[in-house]
Structure 1
Amino acid sequence: MPPKQAKPDSRASTLLFKKHKTTVLLSLQPHEPLTAVKEKLLEALKSRNMLEINGDPLPSDSTLIEFGVPVDRSDREKGWRLLQGDGEVTTNTAAKKASSGTLLAAGLDNGHSVAFRFRKPGDAPEGDEPDPDIERDDPGWDVMIPSFDDDEE
């Protein structure tokens, strides 16, 4: 018997989650909390038997995943900003406690690119005050943007 196919949902949005050269496409509902999205992303990575991405080991807990959104959606080369657990975009790297923020509240719609990275369990405890010396452009997002330019020899 062939496997059952899920019925397509017209409200579902397909988001592109990017880290280094890895892109994961997930079809998600706009009302899904970001915490559930992190769990689905980690589950998708583990289902492909991935243990690491570019030397960064996959965390065992989805709360150690952080999302970033492009500074400029039309030019992803400009960098990424941290997307907090409540859907708020910020430029600091201190993590806030994840709440009930949803994809819709974060402004993430069909076709949006979202960077992700893994925090180490001891890094930046939740609730810490942001460091005022941190630059606005967070250098911690490891996302390779594909290019159609011919390689120069």
Structure 2
Amino acid sequence: MPPKQAKPDSRATTLLFKKHKSTILLSLQPHEPLTAVKEKLLEALKSRNMIEINGEPIPSDSALIDFGVPVDRSDLEKGWKLLQTDGGDTSKSTAGKRASSGTVLAAGLDNGHLVAFSFRKPGDVPANDEDDADIDSNDPGWDVVIPTFDDEEE
């Protein structure tokens, strides 16, 4: 018998996860750990029988998924930066409440936010803050295609 699901909470946050031309909407709780979000994203991809996105195979382990957030939410052309998903210390959130640093709320993700995702190969080591500082924000690892109206005019 599957575990009993909790009733949906009105405080749920809907995030848009993007890779290439694919967008996956997930409704998440603000206190949900980002590691669990990776698992839900992987579940959503597999439930649609997707095996690859833009020629890149979907991993079987959620630990091989990285999240990225826009450098500037008002100008997505500026690129994406790595969102750190681990860490169990507590930090003060913008709302003044205590939250784990590895949650949706602590990451500053709110309704309608775009989150890029990419896949690492099984042998790859996850990036850290020091390595991330040396990488250009327009890192080609963030394969996100944002539709524009200009495409139709050409």
Distance 2:80 2:127 in 1: 20
Aligned length: 137
Distance 2:38 2:8 in 1: 21
Which residue matches 1:86? 86
| Structure 1 unmatched ranges of 5 or more | 1-5, 88-98
CA shift at 1:75, angstroms?
1.3
Deviations along 1:112-145, one digit per CA (max 9) or x if unpaired, are: 0000000001112577962775334322100000
Distance 2:120 2:14 in 1: 24
CA shift at 1:77, angstroms?
1.6
Q: List structure 1 segments (4+ residues) > 4 angstroms apart after TM superposition.
A: 125-129
SS of equivalent to 2:15: strand
Answer yes or no: is the 8 Å Cα contact 1:17–1:114 preserved in 2: yes
SS of equivalent to 2:150: coil
Which residue matches 1:71? 71
| Closer/same/farther in 2, CA of residues 109 and 131 from structure 1, 3 Å limit | closer
Query: Which structure's residues are more often helix, by fraction?
Result: 2
Identity over aligned pairs, percent: 82
Answer yes or no: is the 8 Å Cα contact 1:65–1:119 preserved in 2: yes
Distance 1:133 1:81 in 2: 11
| Closer/same/farther in 2, CA of residues 128 and 76 from structure 1, 3 Å limit | closer
Q: Normalising by structure 2, report the TM-score.
A: 0.79
| Closer/same/farther in 2, CA of residues 149 and 7 from structure 1, 3 Å limit | farther
Answer yes or no: is the 8 Å Cα contact 2:35–2:86 preserved in 1: no
Q: Normalising by structure 1, report the TM-score.
A: 0.80
